[in-house]
Amino acid sequence: MRVSGKRLAALALSGLIAASAVAAQEIPPALGKAMALVEQGDPAAAIAALEELVEQPGAPEIAFAALGALLLETGNAERALAVLAPLADGDPPDPAALFNAGRAAEALGRLQDAASYYQRSIEVEPLSPALRALGMMIGRLGRAGDAYPYLRPWSNANPDDLEARMAAAWGAVALGRPRDAETLIENLDPEDQQVQLLRGRVLLLRDNPWGALAELQPLAAAPPAHLERGIRSALATAYLLVGEADGAIQQLERLSPEDPELVGRLARAYYQAGRTVDAIAALAAFVEPLATATPPADASTDLARELTYDYGRFLHAAGETERALPFLRLAAELDPNVPETFQALEQVLSALGRRDEAEEAVQRLRDLTAEADRSDAQQGSLDDPTGHAVRLALQRSGSGDADGALEALAREGRLAPDDPRTAIAASSVLLHAGRREEALAAVERALDMAPANADGLYQRGAVLMAMRELAAAEETFRQALTVSPRHIAALSDFAVLLMSQGRHDEAARHLRTVLELRPDDPLAQRHLDQLQTAPPETGNDGGSEIDRLRGAVEVDPEDPGAWARLGKALLLERSFRAAEEPLRRAVELDPTNAGTRIALASALWEDNRPDAALLHAREAAALRPADPAPHRLLGGILLWRGEYTGAAESFERSASLAEPDAEQLLELARAWEGAAGAEPGRAGELLQRAEAAYRRATALAPEHSEAVYGLAQVLRQLGRTEEAEAQMERYQALYDRDQRDAREQGRATESGEPPR
């Protein structure tokens, strides 16, 4: 249905006022008169009436909002912005005024101001229309992927907005998220040419070029002008992937010869067709100037690198190796993190006899290959990009970069706002960083999305346990196990909580379940062994024993043994902060007691005070050099601090004094791997030590996925690609098994069937 101009202005005026926070104010008669004038088709008179109203002392805000909205709808964006800006900057700011101020700024070409207004509107009202406006504005700038975090939640809330859904689908394609794109175009007209093009692009993402050809070839017969570039470009990619370079050339030669991206693709097609001279000629006009000038500020650095890389390797293939070198060097400077560039650079340098420089290129290639996560190209990451992003973020956190992990999770959370896994993972990272209140807030956000999510319930229980809210933690663990009775992490941590309260029988039942599910779990086995040698239960909270120990301290406050026993009892209960004071008193009274220093270092470490813990761990290791415990504790603290060589030496010392378990060997391997990165001159030797430790860990615990993954990464850094791939396949199998088990448990829980 078409709406007349005067009717549109009237609807806009009443609707925009109604959406504003100032709508709660009483509508003055002059405003009612203005609305009537708009209905009568006289917006100029309505604006004049409102201008007169806002000039009066004490004019209500709603009059300014109405005037700004009407000015905007009738094309006077400059005056609209002047009227709306004070409302937008009010305290509290009005989300509708912010949205309309953004529209006015965008109409004036002030895109940065528009983006700022839109962002502020979204902060006040998360589903403000500013979400759509900002996404569409970014998309029009050619940044479909950057637009996606705004358009996806808007499309979820407004599925009938087909334009926004389509734009969001293009963003999903740009980000390599085919499943999200498929969801967004689901139920759209299958004969719509843009939908067909999107389906073709999704098939390319899914590595199905033959399917893409079948989808796109009919479109290329007579493509509409606004889709021709996308259709022919995607079709050319499909032809290249199936080895039909002539088909790609036929499509690309019909497109603009001034577009560097398309010319680059055409050059690659020429090269694939054996027309190397044509490939070089196609790129020359774009690439040759880059050798003596910096790329323009508005040029894509990625595209410049890609073109210079291709130009260099084409020259080398044509026998012009000397001429190729400066372009490959430039490609490496434009982006020093692309392995293929250094592979080509090494080949050229070797051909020119520059062996030292070639070896440097080889080493850089090895480093980059080690950092690359091959699973990016696997189907699993395409079908579940959020799960993939979460795994990478947790690995990043495990290597000591908690802030980087949180940034990555926040970014993925914007791309998948309805997926609780990013918030659960963020809670885990925050908890390990000692930021417990933030960790609790993060997991609460996850549970708001999915109240019955077993992983979220487990994480909430773990945070509450760390905060010493044990009753709440117990209740949450029980909820997690009701949803997923075989949730290994919940079983394990709940067992620890029960152990700290002296409830050994129930703790042992949970630990036995863990070992049934994962027979090689070293921590569960160690805890169960402790329980089997523990004294009989005397109560449910352990309080009477601690009260007795406090009484002993009161009787003789100068007895270091009494203070130490109290501190260790509190430590066993995981009351780390409470344990610190009695353990400090014990150390002050008997500074040569290594066992007390180990306990104090452990309490400080668990309370996220690594510097103080390090001091006492060093003292304990010096006092008791033949005891593996202080060396292992010292290694863990040094590893966390990034002092990799010292950590590895401490772990090695501990392992030489007592047979290590898989977890200690994993820590040792990580330490040697970190030391290799910190000491490039000894990288080969240190990586071999890391390999040996990872292999010992996997021998003790063959299904320990972290050890298998670590071994794969070290083998890749050592250049043993086939072995690395074999270990990555093994890791993927373990991961797939865990995911399959989790899905089966979820289905069983939903259907009411007992878990298998």
Give the residue-averaged pLDDT of 447-475: 86
Q: Are residues 121 and 236 in the same domain?
A: no
Is 709 part of a structural domain of the chain?
A: yes
pLDDT value of position 751: 46
Is 518 part of a structural domain of the chain?
A: no
Give the residue-averaged pLDDT of 273-278: 90
Q: Please, which contacts does 630-633 make with residues 24 or more away whose CB atoms are closer than 8 Å? A: 630/594, 630/597, 630/598, 630/601, 631/657, 632/664, 633/598, 633/601, 633/602, 633/605
Q: Which DSSP string do the residues of 606-654 spell out, in sequence order? A: HTT-HHHHHHHHHHHHHH-TT-HHHHHHHHHHHHHHT-HHHHHHHHHHH
Q: Which amino acid is residue 184, in one-letter code?
A: L
Tens digits of per-residue pLDDT, 294-336?
554 444 678 888 899 999 899 988 889 899 898 988 988 888 8
Q: Indicate whether 56 pLDDT > 50.
A: yes
CA dihedral 413, 415, 416, 422 (to 10 degrees): -20
DSSP percent split of the chain into helix, strand, coil, nearest 5: 75, 0, 25
Q: Indicate whether 516 pLDDT > 70.
A: yes
Q: Are residues 267 and 280 in the same domain?
A: yes
pLDDT category of residue 136 using cuts at 50, 70 and 90? very high
Residue labelled with tokens 């479909």: 144
Is 652 part of a structural domain of the chain?
A: yes
183 C-beta neighbours (distance < 10 Å), count: 17
pLDDT value of position 615: 87
Is 549 part of a structural domain of the chain?
A: yes
Give the residue-averaged pLDDT of 507-519: 82
Q: Indicate whether 377 pLDDT > 70.
A: no
pLDDT category of residue 536 using cuts at 50, 70 and 90? low
- CATH of residue 445's domain is 1.25.40.10
Is 671 part of a structural domain of the chain?
A: yes
Q: Are residues 338 and 429 in the same domain?
A: no
Query: Over the chain, what is the mean pLDDT?
Result: 80
pLDDT value of position 89: 79
Is 435 part of a structural domain of the chain?
A: yes
Q: Are residues 24 and 102 in the same domain?
A: yes
Q: Are residues 594 and 713 in the same domain?
A: no
Q: Are residues 307 and 391 in the same domain?
A: no
**Cβ 327 vs Cβ 287: under 8 Å:** yes
Q: Are residues 345 and 391 in the same domain?
A: no
Q: Indicate whether 602 pLDDT > 80.
A: yes
Q: Are residues 619 and 638 in the same domain?
A: no
Among residues 624, 656, 682, the one where a domain terminates is 624
Q: Are residues 363 and 383 in the same domain?
A: no
Is 470 part of a structural domain of the chain?
A: no
Is 99 part of a structural domain of the chain?
A: yes
Tens digits of per-residue pLDDT, 328-364?
889 888 888 888 888 888 888 888 888 888 888 888 8
Q: Are residues 647 and 745 in the same domain?
A: yes
Contacts of 181 (CB under 8 A, 6+ apart): 169, 172, 173, 198, 201, 202, 205
Q: Are residues 184 and 276 in the same domain?
A: no
Q: Indicate whether 414 pLDDT > 60.
A: yes
pLDDT value of position 48: 80
Among residues 456, 491, 525, the one where a domain terminates is 456
pLDDT value of position 433: 75
pTM: predicted TM-score of the whole model, two decimal places: 0.56
31: closest CA among 22, 621, 679? 22
Phi, psi dihedrals of residue 337, rounded to the nearest 5°:
-120, 25
Q: Are residues 241 and 227 in the same domain?
A: yes
Angstrom distance (rounded) from CA 132 to CA 121:
11
**How many domains does the chain contain in total?**
5
Domain ranges, residue 580: 542-624
